[in-house]
């Protein structure tokens, strides 16, 4: 199959009015009057970011999910995306499922696929997605914007993706029912995009949890030149991992990556508004701690035990 046939068959679904999609030298994306453009890109490399055995529908879903998650982390609204693919060979059933997974999420979040690039490679599959979004000028949720006294919030739950990965890698003893419960969280994350787009004006700092809760919150602490106090017992531990040995739960919750939920800080006076917004968008939110003046990042249990995890999260190199 030739490159152009492949693009026409799998990556040229209709785009909304006012857009120009695949087929010309560039895509065209209408600008939203009075808003700023927000851009992010993420790559997924076979063997590093996904296992070769992963089902292609999930991979298509996740390729876009990890990108819209970055838009959510800024409080931005998705506007469109482009997809670059490097493939070792043309496998039509793989392409068909991959594109179905990708388009499902693109439709869900009104983030049309408007272009990309397709090439062969003598290495594994490489997927690069760039997303465009928009936001009211000056309202992006920056990592540097946390203030002492802010509440620290987490959306969704923590730990399940990490446990699924450990099961798939054989680092945890085989447990089919646990894998069945946790695997969707690893392979098909749903970042809280609609909720997040309403956070500007309510929240101060935000980021998405991709490399591990502690490591990622550490970025806010560093950029905002503050400290953070976390109550371990208040963290939203995913129900599927609660029954595991304590040390495994701690590692999964504090250091497990691939979550694609948000950690954000907000002034105490916005508690009610945030809870109302969360109900409105069906997004679970949990208050897990407080931003402090200084003192670094401290995690304590309610009975005063201080946790110092040995593994602080995913290392890319
Ligand atoms: P060029 O020769 O300018 O690099 P291409 O032949 O790579 O153009 O791409 C032709 C058209 O198909 C372009 O509009 C491009 O945006 C689109 N396209 C290529 N690959 C993809 C893809 N994986 N997903 C969506 N659109 C794609
Ligand atoms: Mg090209």
Alpha helices (H) along the chain: 3-10, 56-74, 92-108, 160-168, 176-187, 193-196, 213-224, 246-255, 271-280
Q: Whose CA is nearest to atom 10 of ligand 1?
A: 23
Q: Whose CA is nearest to atom 7 of ligand 1?
A: 117
Cα(92) to centroid of ligand 2, in Å? 20
- Alpha carbons 117 and 99: distance in angstroms, whole number: 14
> What percent of the chain has a predicted confidence (pLDDT) above 90?
94
274 lines ligand 1 (CB under 6 A): no
Closest CA to 262 of 155, 162, 160: 155
Q: What is the DSSP string of 129-146?
A: EEEEEEE-TT----GGG-
Cα–Cα distances in angstroms (integers) from residue 306 to residues 230, 245, 281, 294, 300, in the given order: 10, 18, 34, 17, 4
> 317 pLDDT exceeds 70?
no
Cα(258) to centroid of ligand 2, in Å? 30
Q: Whose CA is nearest to atom 18 of ligand 1?
A: 116
Q: What is the mean pLDDT of residues 89-93?
A: 95
State residue 255 phi and psi, 5-degree precision.
Answer: -120, -10
pLDDT digits (tens, 9 = 90+) for 294-307: 889 999 999 999 99
Please answer whether residues 43 and 145 qualify as being in contact, where contact means their C-beta atoms are separated by less than 8 angstroms. no
24 lines ligand 1 (CB under 6 A): yes
Q: How many CB atoms neighbour CB 36 within 10 A?
A: 15
| Integer-rounded Cα radius of gyration of the chain | 20
Q: In what order do the strands lie in the sheet with 36-45?
A: 36-45, 126-135, 77-87, 113-120
pLDDT at 244: 96
Burial class from Cβ neighbours inside 10 Å (0-12, 13-18, 19+) for residue 130 reads middle
Please answer whether residues 285 and 155 qualify as being in contact, where contact means their C-beta atoms are separated by less than 8 angstroms. yes
pLDDT at 312: 63
Q: What is the mean pLDDT of residues 194-200?
A: 98
- Confidence band of 315 (pLDDT split at 50, 70, 90): low
pLDDT at 274: 98
State residue 47 phi and psi, 5-degree precision.
Answer: 90, -15
> 2 pLDDT exceeds 90?
no
- Alpha carbons 149 and 147: distance in angstroms, whole number: 6
- Alpha carbons 70 and 113: distance in angstroms, whole number: 17
pLDDT digits (tens, 9 = 90+) for 246-282: 999 999 999 999 999 999 999 999 999 999 999 999 9
pLDDT at 23: 94
Cα(157) to centroid of ligand 1, in Å? 37
pLDDT digits (tens, 9 = 90+) for 17-61: 999 999 999 999 999 999 999 999 999 999 999 988 999 999 999
pTM attached to this predicted model: 0.95
> 310 pLDDT exceeds 70?
no
- Alpha carbons 250 and 232: distance in angstroms, whole number: 9
Atom of ligand 1 nearest to the CA of 113: 25
23, two tokens: 């087929």
- Confidence band of 181 (pLDDT split at 50, 70, 90): very high
Ligand nearest to the CA of 19: 1
Beta bridge partners of 85: 118, 127
Helices (H) and strands (E) in the chain, counts: 9, 11
User: In the 8-state DSSP scheme, what is residue 46?
Assistant: B
25 lines ligand 1 (CB under 6 A): yes
60 lines ligand 1 (CB under 6 A): no
Atom of ligand 1 nearest to the CA of 23: 14
Ligand nearest to the CA of 102: 1
The contacts of residue 65 (CB under 8 Å, 6+ apart) are: 105, 188, 189, 190, 191, 260
> 173 pLDDT exceeds 90?
yes
48, two tokens: 């590093």
Cα(113) to centroid of ligand 1, in Å? 11
17 lines ligand 1 (CB under 6 A): no
Mean pLDDT of the chain: 96
pLDDT digits (tens, 9 = 90+) for 208-255: 999 999 999 999 999 999 999 999 999 999 999 999 999 999 999 999
Q: Tell me how far the alpha carbon of residue 306 is from its chain's centroid.
A: 28
Choose one of 6, 85, 117, 127 to mutate for the ligand 1 pocket test, by most ligand atoms within 8 angstroms of C-beta. Answer: 117
> What percent of the chain has a predicted confidence (pLDDT) above 70?
97
Q: Whose CA is nearest to atom 21 of ligand 1?
A: 116
Cα(134) to centroid of ligand 2, in Å? 26
171 lines ligand 1 (CB under 6 A): no
68, two tokens: 């819209």
């Amino acid at each position: 199959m030739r490159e152009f046939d492949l693009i026409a068959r799998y990556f040229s679904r209709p785009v909304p009015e006012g857009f120009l999609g695949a087929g010309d030298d560039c895509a065209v994306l209408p600008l939203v009057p009075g808003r700023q453009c927000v851009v992010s890109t993420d790559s997924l490399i076979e063997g590093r970011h996904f296992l070769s055995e992963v089902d292609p529908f999930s991979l298509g879903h996740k390729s876009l999910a990890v990108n819209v998650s970055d838009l959510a982390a800024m409080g931005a609204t998705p506007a469109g995306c482009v997809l670059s693919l490097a493939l070792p060979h043309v496998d039509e059933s793989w392409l068909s499922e991959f594109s179905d997974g990708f388009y499902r999420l693109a439709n869900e979040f009104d983030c049309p696929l408007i272009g990309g690039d397709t090439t062969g490679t003598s290495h594994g599959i490489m997927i690069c997605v760039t997303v465009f979004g928009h936001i009211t000028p000056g309202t992006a949720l920056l990592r540097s914007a946390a203030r002492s006294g802010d509440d620290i919030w987490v959306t969704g739950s923590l730990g399940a993706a990490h446990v699924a990965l450990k099961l798939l890698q054989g680092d945890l003893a085989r447990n089919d029912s646990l894998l069945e419960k946790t695997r969707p969280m690893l392979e098909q994350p749903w970042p809280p995009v609609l909720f997040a787009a309403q956070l500007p004006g309510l929240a101060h700092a935000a980021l998405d949890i991709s490399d591990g809760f502690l490591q990622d919150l550490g970025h806010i602490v560093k950029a905002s030149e503050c400290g953070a106090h976390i109550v371990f017992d208040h963290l939203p531990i995913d129900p599927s991992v609660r029954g595991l040995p304590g040390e495994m739960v701690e590692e999964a919750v504090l250091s497990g990556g691939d979550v694609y939920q948000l950690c954000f800080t907000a002034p105490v006076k916005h508690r009610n508004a945030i809870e109302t917004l969360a109900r409105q968008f069906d997004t679970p939110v949990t208050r897990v701690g407080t931003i402090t003046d200084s003192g670094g990042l401290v995690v304590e249990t309610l009975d005063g035990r201080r946790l110092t995890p040995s593994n602080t999260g995913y290392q890319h190199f």
